[in-house]
Chain A
Amino acid sequence: MKKPARVFSEVVKHLFKKPATCAYPFEPARIMPHFRGRIAFEQDKCIGCQMCVRVCPSKAIEIVLSADQPPAPAPVEGQPAGPAKKKFDCIMKLDHCVFCAQCVETCPKKALIMTQDFELAHVNRKELRRHYK
């Protein structure tokens, strides 16, 4: 059964409604609480096991030894001198990252953390290679 201009009343109703879009750059965007954004790194938790490097589907992570290593702990009397705890840096290539957060799940020490940071566009590609120290 044909009824012309069936949508007309709906269109008129919408004239008095608020816009459905949000004016994003001028007001904050609405993000859900568990949104998968940029991956952050906590250096003191990392043990350099390279699990995240192996599991990353887009080869976006590198875990390297830090330039400045902490000094070896002072030897305790009667015990053999323990090795120094090594420090690691994380190089996160944001232009490779697909934001699946598999590394966050795999990390045994929870050194990688998912943040809600999504404003990552940059005109300089080098800036997308973040070196977390």
Chain B
Amino acid sequence: MSKITIPLGPQHPALKEPENFMLVLEGEQISGATVNLGYNHRGMEKAAEERTYIQDLYLLERVCGICSHSHTTCYITNVEELAKCETPKRALAIRTLVAELERVHSHLLWLGVAGYEMGFETLFMYTWRDREQVLDCLELISGNRVHYSINTIGGVRRDITAEQKAEVLKRIDYLAERTNYYIRLATEEATVLARTQNVGKLPYDVAIERGAIGPTARASGVARDVRKNEPYLTYSELDFKLITADSCDVFGRLVVRALELVESYKIIRQVLNNLPEGPTAVKVPMRIPAGEAVNRYEAPRGEDIHYLKSNGTDKPERVKVRAPTLANLQSVAYMLEGGWLADVPLVIAAIDPCMSCTDRAVVWDPKKGRKQTYGWEDLRKMAIEQYRRRGVDFTRL
């Protein structure tokens, strides 16, 4: 059968975000797939260099609408590390609480999207209705549903009162009950099983080789979670399980996310019942001492990495964000190969992609006024060339 190449996207490939997938089709089966990034470059890292540390907090929060707390917490940990500031225990606990509430809201959102993509819209409607409960919790604690802005340099901006604690616990109890229902539903309902089992296969060794992270990796049996491997905030004191599945398909990703919800409820209850007393923030000077810092953070979609370089002024010299989707996109190309065209939206949605967070590889030369996007091969060539000039040979790698 002759091969045809069709473009999927950048207009609405699976979700509302622009991304292009070039699919080589043999009949209805996919024999090759390429992922093309670069439709939504927003220049956030450059913008961050022109704002003060406190202003960057609100800018970097807008890297992603779903993991807004992940990005600010990762960034602020870098800033606090460079400023050598001792963040109060209570502030760290509140950050952990918001982080877990965010994970609950992201996973419930994903469950709904997956239901929608597999043609099971009842699940989509119910999960999104229940997601309102956790969004209400976030609004109650922080004052906003999406961009919580709970972090500030040196602590958190708002304390948690006894009434808020009771209200959040009440809603979490309701959500825990609903989640148990969804887990039963997802593992027994014929529609879900037919659409997800053996779809988008990603075996263990390929997941390792392609550097998959977060729930995508955990569904392939890779026990990789920054909360366990390199505990930050107060995770080292909390009791929770690292969820993995070994079915290596979309069904595994669904199960991992659903069971992680249960773990998150456990964490939220632990944090709320053992909130340490004390102040919620300490003062940090506007100017941050010169230095470099890198931090990892387990965002709902996987590992988020932030790099920060300061030069002793009140503005950072360089901010680098590695959003989780960028690491997982390598696996998508593999997952699509050998699959069916009809499964493409579900497979793409299964990594919980956030394309706008990921896009940041356009090079603009102000002298020549030229704009260029570099592909993987070009970047590799440039990197090898640069290291050769320093006397290191990487050509054989």
Residues of B whose CB lies within 8 Å of any CB of A are 51-52, 54-59, 62, 122-123, 126, 129, 132, 136, 139-140, 143-144, 147, 149, 152, 157-158, 181, 184-185, 187-190, 193
Q: Is the pair B143, A3 in contact by a Cβ cutoff of 8 Å?
A: no
Q: Is the pair A99, B144 in contact by a Cβ cutoff of 8 Å?
A: yes
* Nearest chain A CB to B197 CB, angstrom units: 10
Residue from A2, A20, A57 in contact with B51 in the complex, judged by beta carbons closer than 8 Å: A57
Given A2-B190, A3-B190, A102 and B122 contact (CB-CB distance below 8 Å): no
Q: Is the pair B185, A32 in contact by a Cβ cutoff of 8 Å?
A: no
Q: Count residues of A near B (Cβ-Cβ below 8 Å).
A: 24
Residue from A20, A35, A58, A105 in contact with B157 in the complex, judged by beta carbons closer than 8 Å: A105
Q: Is the pair B189, A3 in contact by a Cβ cutoff of 8 Å?
A: yes
**Nearest residue, chain B, Cβ from A4:** B190
Residue from B129, B140, B144 in contact with A36 in the complex, judged by beta carbons closer than 8 Å: B144
Q: How far is the CA of A61 from the CA of B273 in the complex (A)?
A: 40
- Residues in B with CB closer than 8 Å to A34 are 140, 143, 158
Any B CB within 8 A of the CB of A10: yes
* Nearest chain B CB to A20 CB, angstrom units: 5
- Residues in A with CB closer than 8 Å to B62 are 98
- Residues in A with CB closer than 8 Å to B129 are 20
Residues of A whose CB lies within 8 Å of any CB of B are 1-4, 6-7, 10-11, 20, 32-36, 55-58, 98-102, 105
Given A1-B188, A6-B185, A55 and B144 contact (CB-CB distance below 8 Å): no
Q: Is the pair B139, A35 in contact by a Cβ cutoff of 8 Å?
A: yes
- Residues in A with CB closer than 8 Å to B149 are 36, 100-102
**Nearest residue, chain A, Cβ from B138:** A32
Residue from A20, A32, A100 in contact with B140 in the complex, judged by beta carbons closer than 8 Å: A32
Given A7-B122, A10-B126, A57 and B58 contact (CB-CB distance below 8 Å): yes
- Residues in A with CB closer than 8 Å to B189 are 2-4, 6-7
Given A10-B126, A34-B143, A100 and B58 contact (CB-CB distance below 8 Å): yes
